[in-house]
Structure 1
Amino acid sequence: MTWLRKNLFSTWYNSLLTVFCLVLLSWMVWGLLNWAIIQAQWTVIGTNLHLFLVGRFPQALYWRVWIVLAIASTFSAITGGVFFGKQLLQKPLIAGYTLIVGLLLVIVPGDVTSRLWLLLIAILLVAGCWLGSRFNQVITPWLSLAWLLSFPLILWLLGGGFGLQPVSTNLWNGLLLTLLMAAVSIVLSFPIGVLLALGRTSHLPLVRWFCIFYIEIVRGLPLIGILFLAQVMLPLFLPTDLRLDRLLRGVAGLVLFSAAYMAENVRGGLQAIPRGQVEAANALGLNTPLVVMLIILPQALRAVIPAIVGQFIGLFKDTSLLSLVGLVELTGIARSILAQPQFLGRYAEVYLFIGLIYWIFCYLMSLASRRLERQFSQ
């Protein structure tokens, strides 16, 4: 009561402003709840949930998508266990996680097979967190290699070949395509951005000016323009007998764009390293590659974790522009669903749903960033 009187009702005009804000918030919440419960037609989400998630991927081959999800979930849980330890296995978090999984099993439409797969993935998440926190010393040296080897396996399961029925990339739609494009672009743009940042600070004039030229040119162009250039112009620079898939061209556009901004983020971290540390490393007899790998980069990357994760979040959201160049990701599949005759005009429900999906993944990346900052600062 004292806090309310001190902060919200300290003077007559503060009291008036507080009452006005409470009335305005109550009116907005009441209108939102009234629309969500009475007027909104959420059947557009339940009926087209499979389109939102996997698009036109053949329904008979959904088991391959479930395996991919199980692999990605397991490695993500192990990685979380390695970095965050037993913090992920606290009783309140486990209770909340169990409640969310139980609600999903009840609410999410689907057959018995889908529910069993969802339950299995939930168990794998808990098991992965336990393994990562329990055996982090053993797992850490092999974690990067495991992630690297998982990408070819995931692409093989999705695309087929080598004994599996081929599935055209034109059928990779919805959230599946969004996550795949974002993950591949993040993995490729990060090392390229680091190399560009190192090149921009190099003492070799040719390397430095090339990196400066590339970074400034790309940062001066809009992403949609680069995506169109990647789709239209990139094939002109390749041999006539080499045809890149539209998905690969989309990845190329995202990587070329994101690497330039990543380079500037990393360069900010490089400039924060005192010159004395480099001189001390040289005095100990370390050559330039060892100085960069062991002294400069670890400190520089730790200093710019928020900027790097912010770039990753921006890249994840920028995948929505791929729908403008013919790739039907989450936003593109939403437009095709809104074209269905029975769901014409259901813009609010559809875009609120995909907005919630984007927010969940962006918030998880932001949460991981804060955890990493807290861990590295100790």
Structure 2
Amino acid sequence: MSFSFVREQMVDPAPAPVNTAGPVAWARRNLFATPSDSLLTILALVLLIWAIPPIYGFVMPNFLGGDAVPPGGTVEECRLETAGACWAYISARMSFFIYGFYPPAEYWRPNLVFALGALLIVPLLIPRVPFKRTNAILFFVVYPVICFYLLNGGVLGMRPVPTEQWGGLLVTLIISLVGIICSIPIGILLALGRQSKLPIIKTLCIMFIELWRAVPLITVLFMASVMLPLFMPQGTTVDKLLRALVGVTLFSSAYLAEVVRGGLQALPRGQYEAASSLGLSYWKSMWFIILPQALKHVIPGIVNSFIALFKDTSLVSIVGIFDLLNTVQAASSDIDWSSPTQAITGYLFAGMVFWVFCFAMSRYSIWMERRLDTGHKG
């Protein structure tokens, strides 16, 4: 007797059990796994139910069921006791928030700077786009020169615009981009110098890093804007924005150096020995073998430093530079748009702008981590 059996028709796959797949299983696994998790989940839901309706009513325009005055509204609507956020005020003062005191007739110049920056940085951030070297040269070398002459003027018949008239989001982006771009090479060199076997170089790098990390950024900005001119020869002046750029860059590079040093120390000693066995010089081994691996390991720390730098640019408002936050504070004294929610709406707008840029950097870093993840997962 034969006990063999050959299936002639395949059975349709059965769905997964309800208790192992689907939203109910996800909630049970992530939100109600233990009694303490269940209690925290319930408390969070109660907090959201209590907080979301008033926040929604304050932020959303009236045509979406909220109490906020939409763009195009009137100041009289914003002055009502039941009015929420005055987005009409933000719309009316948007040019000031973006350009500061930049002459309105010259807005095309910062607009061109924004457009060129987006045109160059987007392909640079997408790995599959070709001509990366040419793109990098254009962005890191040519673009800053074009930006300087476009914004400052004085050439090709363009009206000179001193940096005292720059402001708003324009200045925030300038300080953050210059700080981020310039702090990367300085921070890497400081990290390599701190691991150097030459006592003089190692000591100088340690002293530089510890000095800048031992003082708050606001002290650096005050020193650069108030104290530095006192030590310079009489009649010598340095642009206030340039002083802030140098201070922010050096401050950020000290923190970035420690992040990069952590990545260098995390690499196995065998990587250094393998580079030496190939006969590579110190700089070639660092460029081709050590730094690519070290920087990949510390992407979260590097991006965290960039996000902190972008948010710390708001401190330049204390030394009289009209960044985004300072323009919002200055506009809150505009009596033409005076209302109970004027200041709150301005700060809410500034917070939303900072959140958009910081969230974009965070998501891009997560995407890069996943793309560069070459580890073997069991």
Counting matched residue pairs gives 325
Tell me, in whole angstroms, the C-alpha distance in 2 between the residues paired with 1:299 and 1:5. 38
Q: Which residue of 1 aligns with 2:145?
A: 152
User: Which amino acid is the alignment partner of residue 221 of structure 1?
Assistant: V
User: Which amino acid is the alignment partner of residue 261 of structure 2?
Assistant: R
Q: Which residue of 2 aligns with 1:285?
A: 279
Q: CA deviation at 1:261?
A: 0.3
Q: Which residue of 2 aligns with 1:90?
A: none
- The two structures, once aligned, show a CA RMSD in angstroms of 2.3
Query: Is residue 363 from structure 1 mapped to residue 363 from structure 2 by the alignment?
Result: no
Query: Is residue 76 from structure 1 mapped to residue 71 from structure 2 by the alignment?
Result: no
Q: CA deviation at 1:149?
A: 0.7
Q: Which residue of 2 aligns with 1:312?
A: 306
Query: Is residue 62 from structure 1 mapped to residue 104 from structure 2 by the alignment?
Result: no
Note if contact 1:54-1:173 (Cα within 8 Å) is conserved in structure 2: yes
Note if contact 2:221-2:319 (Cα within 8 Å) is conserved in structure 1: yes
Tell me, in whole angstroms, the C-alpha distance in 2 between the residues paired with 1:16 and 1:289. 56
In the superposition, relative to structure 1, how do residues 361 and 15 fare at CA in structure 2: closer, same or farther (>3 Å)?
closer
Q: CA deviation at 1:34?
A: 2.3
In the superposition, relative to structure 1, how do residues 209 and 14 fare at CA in structure 2: closer, same or farther (>3 Å)?
closer
Q: CA deviation at 1:309?
A: 0.9
Indicate which of 23, 34, 44 corresponds to 2:57: 34
Q: CA deviation at 1:284?
A: 2.2
For residues 136-215 of structure 1, what are the structure 2 equivalents within 5 Å? 136=130, 139-147=131-139, 148-163=141-156, 164-215=158-209
User: Which amino acid is the alignment partner of residue 26 of structure 1?
Assistant: I
Normalization by structure 2: what TM-score? 0.80
Greater Rg by CA: 2
Tell me, in whole angstroms, the C-alpha distance in 1 between the residues paired with 2:259 and 2:33. 44
In the superposition, relative to structure 1, how do residues 4 and 302 fare at CA in structure 2: closer, same or farther (>3 Å)?
closer
Secondary structure at 1:233's aligned position in 2? helix
For residues 78-97 of structure 1, what are the structure 2 equivalents within 5 Å? 78-81=123-126, 83=127, 85=128
Indicate which of 345, 362, 374 corresponds to 2:370: 374
Q: CA deviation at 1:10?
A: 8.3
Note if contact 1:200-1:212 (Cα within 8 Å) is conserved in structure 2: yes
Note if contact 1:160-1:166 (Cα within 8 Å) is conserved in structure 2: yes
Unpaired segments ≥5 residues, structure 2: 1-22, 60-65, 68-82
Q: Which residue of 2 aligns with 1:114?
A: none
Q: CA deviation at 1:30?
A: 1.3
Q: CA deviation at 1:237?
A: 5.0
Greater shift, 141-150 or 20-29, is seen at: 20-29
Unpaired segments ≥5 residues, structure 1: 86-131
Q: Which residue of 1 aligns with 2:348?
A: 352
Q: CA deviation at 1:233?
A: 3.1
In the superposition, relative to structure 1, how do residues 250 and 4 fare at CA in structure 2: closer, same or farther (>3 Å)?
closer
Q: CA deviation at 1:298?
A: 1.4
CA deviation map 1:322-370 (0-9, x unaligned): 0001101011001101111232542221111110000000111111211
Tell me, in whole angstroms, the C-alpha distance in 1 between the residues paired with 2:34 and 2:364. 41
Q: Which residue of 2 aligns with 1:299?
A: 293
In proportion to residue count, which structure has more helix? Answer: 1
Tell me, in whole angstroms, the C-alpha distance in 2 between the residues paired with 1:64 and 1:310. 31
Note if contact 1:338-1:344 (Cα within 8 Å) is conserved in structure 2: no
Note if contact 1:52-1:333 (Cα within 8 Å) is conserved in structure 2: yes
Tell me, in whole angstroms, the C-alpha distance in 1 between the residues paired with 2:136 and 2:366. 21
For residues 245-260 of structure 1, what are the structure 2 equivalents within 5 Å? 245-260=239-254
Q: Which residue of 1 aligns with 2:218?
A: 224
